[in-house]
C-alpha cells in the first residue's frame, strides 16, 4: 500500500514537472491582443480603441484651438511614420530570414556569425544604435536622417526576427526534412519549398507583434531629424507652447494605430488557428 502511494506521488510530481516545463510566460512589447473571451462591447480593447477615437473627435469640436490645428499639422508626420515602419519591417524580415537560417545552419562558421550578430544587436539599445549609425557611420556612408533610421531599425529588428525564424524553423517537425531528403531533394531545396513556407505560417502572428513594436519604436527616429508623427507634434508644441495638448493628440493617434493593428493580428491568429485545425 505504501509503495502504491509512493508511486502515485512520484507520478504526480513528474506530471507537475512536465506541466511546469510546458508553461511559458509570454511578455512582448506589443499592445493588448484581444481574444475570443474579450469580444464584448465593454471589453478592454473596445473601451481603449473607441475611447481614443472618441477623444480625437470630441476634443477638436470642444476646443478647436489648438486640437483642430494640431490634427491638421501632423498628417505628413503620420505618413513618415508609416513609411519608415513599413520599409524597416521589410528589410528586417529579409535580414531575419538569413540570420535565422544561419542560426540553424550545421556549418559552424555560419552559425557562429549569425549568433554573434543576434547577441550583439540585441544587447545594444535601439536608441544607441540610432545614434551610432547616424553620427558615427552616417558621415562615412553618407546617410541622411530617414535612411539612417531605416538602416538602424532594420538591423535591430532583424536580430529579433532572426530568433522568430529560428524558433519557427525548429517548430516544423524534423520528419518533414527527412521525408524531403528521402524524395531526393537537396537540403536547400527542401528548406525553400517545404520548411520555410510552413515556418512563415507559424510565425506570422509573431511578425505582427514585432510590427506593432516597431511602429511604436519608430517614434525614436524623431531624434534624427525625421519628420515623423512625434517630431511634428513636438514642432507644434515648441512654437505654440501647447505641450499638453500636442502630446495628448500624438499619444492618442499612436494608441489608435497600435490597437488597430493588434486587432488585425488577433484576426490573423484566429484564421491561422482555424486553418490549422482543418489540415
pLDDT tens column, 70-117 = 999 999 899 999 999 999 999 999 999 999 999 998 899 999 999 999
- The conformation of residue 106, written as its DSSP 8-state character, comes to S
Chain centroid, CA 6 distance in Å: 48
Q: Which pLDDT value is given to residue 140?
A: 86
> What does the angle CA 17 – CA 19 – CA 25 come to, to the nearest 5 degrees?
110
215's grid cell: 511602429
Q: Which pLDDT value is given to residue 204?
A: 87
131's grid cell: 545614434
From 66, 36, 71, 39, select the one nearest 56 (Cα to Cα). 71
* Model confidence pTM above 0.85: no
pLDDT tens column, 193-212 = 888 888 888 888 889 899 99
Q: State how far the Cα of 59 lies from the Cα of 251, in Å rounded to an integer.
A: 14
Q: State how far the Cα of 221 lies from the Cα of 82, in Å rounded to an integer.
A: 12
Q: Which pLDDT value is given to residue 3?
A: 47
> What does the angle CA 58 – CA 262 – CA 165 come to, to the nearest 5 degrees?
155
Q: How many CB atoms lie within 10 A of CB 155?
A: 19
Domains and CATH numbers, the chain: 44-277 (1.10.3720.10)
From 222, 218, 229, 216, select the one nearest 262 (Cα to Cα). 216
Task: Find out whether 74 and 248 touch, Cβ atoms under 8 Å.
Answer: no
Helix (H) or strand (E) holding 89: helix 75-103
Length of the chain as a residue count: 279
Q: State how far the Cα of 158 lies from the Cα of 151, in Å rounded to an integer.
A: 10
Per-residue pLDDT tens digits of the chain, which is 279 residues long: 544 445 545 555 555 444 443 443 444 555 555 555 556 666 788 899 999 999 999 999 999 989 999 999 999 899 999 999 999 999 999 999 999 999 998 899 999 999 999 999 999 999 999 999 988 888 888 888 889 999 999 999 999 999 999 999 898 888 888 888 888 888 888 888 888 888 888 888 889 899 999 999 999 988 887 889 999 999 999 998 999 999 999 999 999 999 999 888 888 877 777 665 555
Residue with cell 514642432: 235
Task: Find out whether 228 and 76 touch, Cβ atoms under 8 Å.
Answer: no
Q: State how far the Cα of 188 lies from the Cα of 107, in Å rounded to an integer.
A: 13
Residue with cell 508511486: 7
- Interacting residues of 38 by C-beta distance below 8 A, sequence separation 6+: 44, 45
Amino acid at each position: 500500500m505504501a509503495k502504491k502511494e509512493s508511486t502515485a506521488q512520484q507520478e504526480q510530481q513528474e506530471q507537475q514537472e512536465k506541466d511546469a516545463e510546458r508553461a511559458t510566460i509570454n511578455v512582448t512589447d506589443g499592445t493588448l491582443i484581444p481574444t475570443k473571451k474579450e469580444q464584448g462591447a465593454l471589453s478592454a480593447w473596445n473601451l481603449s480603441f473607441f475611447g481614443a477615437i472618441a477623444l480625437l473627435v470630441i476634443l477638436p469640436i470642444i476646443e478647436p484651438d489648438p486640437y483642430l490645428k494640431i490634427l491638421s499639422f501632423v498628417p505628413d508626420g503620420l505618413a513618415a511614420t508609416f513609411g519608415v515602419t513599413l520599409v524597416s519591417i521589410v528589410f528586417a524580415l529579409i535580414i531575419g530570414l538569413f540570420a535565422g537560417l544561419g542560426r540553424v545552419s550545421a556549418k559552424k562558421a555560419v552559425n557562429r556569425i549569425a549568433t554573434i550578430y543576434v547577441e550583439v544587436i540585441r544587447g545594444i539599445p535601439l536608441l544607441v544604435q540610432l545614434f551610432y549609425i547616424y553620427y558615427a557611420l552616417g558621415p562615412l556612408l553618407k546617410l541622411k536622417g530617414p535612411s539612417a533610421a531605416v538602416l538602424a531599425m532594420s538591423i535591430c529588428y532583424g536580430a529579433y526576427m532572426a530568433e522568430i525564424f529560428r524558433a519557427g524553423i525548429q517548430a516544423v517537425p524534423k520528419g518533414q526534412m527527412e521525408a524531403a531528403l528521402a524524395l531526393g531533394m537537396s537540403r536547400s531545396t527542401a528548406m525553400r519549398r517545404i520548411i520555410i513556407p510552413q515556418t512563415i505560417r507559424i510565425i506570422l502572428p509573431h511578425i505582427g507583434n514585432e510590427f506593432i513594436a516597431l511602429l511604436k519604436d519608430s517614434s525614436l527616429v524623431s531624434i534624427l531629424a525625421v519628420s515623423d508623427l512625434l517630431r511634428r507634434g513636438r514642432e507644434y508644441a515648441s512654437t505654440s507652447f501647447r505641450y499638453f495638448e500636442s502630446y495628448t493628440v500624438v499619444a492618442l493617434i499612436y494608441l489608435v494605430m497600435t490597437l488597430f493593428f493588434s486587432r488585425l493580428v488577433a484576426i490573423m491568429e484566429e484564421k491561422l488557428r482555424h486553418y490549422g485545425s482543418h489540415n
